Amino acid sequence: MSIREWPEGERPREKLLSRGCSALSDAELIAVLLGSGVPGKDAIALGRELLGKSGGLAALLADPGGSVRLRGIGPAKRARLIAALELARRSLAEQLIERPVLANPRDSGDYLRAQLRHLPYEVFGCLFLDNRHKVLAFEELFRGTIDNASVHPREVVRACLRHNASAVILAHNHPSGVAEPSGADRAITQELKDALQLIGVRVLDHLVIGSGAPVSMAAAGLL
């Protein structure tokens, strides 16, 4: 029996519209995005298989256009999954920019995690803030391999001047998933603090993004 033949209240799309997103399982939400299944396998079964082959929802969202290949998941369906994830990221960015001020690491942590956690290579970026700690912009400044990213203080200084920032939150990801700050992380943070102090820009925090919650170097007393 195809999903179209199910009782209306059990169809994922109709259930979402009548009862809200929370009433749907992960596989049912993916089924809504996929739109259809394949012969012998409805969209929900296809969603379950995609979750299973990917290693779970977090892994799927980290790489929606990635290496898992299933019959029935072609370019169009992959494009829908990638677009859904990008809309979520942009929504987080919009919420962050609309906030009057950033008061604590949690305010920026969700956004930075969405930007950096899924990447298979190391990225260093900055949140640029004005003198009231309102977000001006986020910019990815350096990319590295899975092991390290070369961070050049001169380029960070230039970016701060370009955005007319009064303060900055540094951030980078650990593709290994372990968010514990390394000795190199602490060293570059101090180097950047010293360089930015010369132009009157304060380093408020350095967030390390791994598989769990972001680690705040400021909260850990490492800044």
160-199 tens-digit pLDDT: 999 999 999 999 999 888 888 989 899 999 999 999 999 9
Cβ–Cβ < 8 Å for 185, 148: no
- For residues 181 and 34, what is the distance between their CA atoms, to the nearest angstrom? 39
- For residues 148 and 20, what is the distance between their CA atoms, to the nearest angstrom? 42
Give percent of the chain above pLDDT 90: 30
Please, what is the angle between helix 153-162 and helix 183-197, to 10°? 50
Integer Rg of the chain from CA: 21
pLDDT score, position 103: 64
Q: Please check the confidence at residue 94 and state whether its pLDDT lies above 80.
A: no
- For residues 157 and 115, what is the distance between their CA atoms, to the nearest angstrom? 22
Residue whose tokens read 């800044």: 223
Q: Which of 10, 49, 11 is nearest to 27 (CA)?
A: 49
pLDDT score, position 199: 96
- Residue 196 one-letter amino acid: L
pLDDT score, position 77: 80
pLDDT score, position 79: 81
